Amino acid sequence: MRCFGEGDPLYAPYHDTEWGWPKTTTQELYEKICLEGMQAGLAWITVLRKREAFREVFEGFDPARVVDVDIEPLLQDARIIRARAKLQACVTNAHAVLAMDGGLPELIWSYRVDRPAPTSWADVPAVTPASVELSKKLKKLGFTFVGPTTVYSLLQATGVVNDHLAGCLVRGEVERARQAV
């Protein structure tokens, strides 16, 4: 059984090979921060369908290159989510990542949580005290679009928290990968 994504040709592979698997590099984490911010108010599948275009317009999510991206032309690009504040957040957050001088993975992974497998989505919180605290820290560092719910989604997506449900076909593999971090 999958936690989500059954029957969708894009969603199922995302579930099986990406969601919850450890992301430990600055660039991987920065991409997830941007994409989780893009999701605010939308379904994740919407972001997932536009991810390749985002990777193109945001230079592979290389923060050193994104700092120079002009968002004005992006507001006309139908391939992506054209929300000015969300696009600007990606550029702003690139500056914040660079100012951390490589410290983003250490900060994010310092919020690692090991807990029993949830048995249903009702057992999975939208916000935790840790996501509230990390949200505040990121904002102090200059990040935007990093509210507590978005940050908790970030923690889930990057493997800092393993919220694959008990009985999920990849939960055990994800947990082993997390233990290696």
Our CA angle for 151, 152, 158, nearest 5°, is: 85
Known catalytic residue: 11? no
Query: Which residue out of 11, 36, 109, 111 is catalytically annotated?
Result: 36
Within the chain, what is the greatest distance between any pair of CA atoms? 46
Catalytic (active site) residue 28: no
Catalytic residue among 14, 18, 173, 175: 14
Catalytic residue among 11, 19, 21, 44: 44
3-state SS, 23-88, equals CCCHHHHHHHHHHHHHHCCCCHHHHHHHHHHHHHHCHHHCHHHHCCCCHHHHCCCCCCCCCHHHHH
Angle at 11 between CA 6 and CA 16, to 5 degrees: 80
Q: Is 72 an active-site residue? A: no
Q: What residues are annotated to the active site?
A: 14, 36, 44
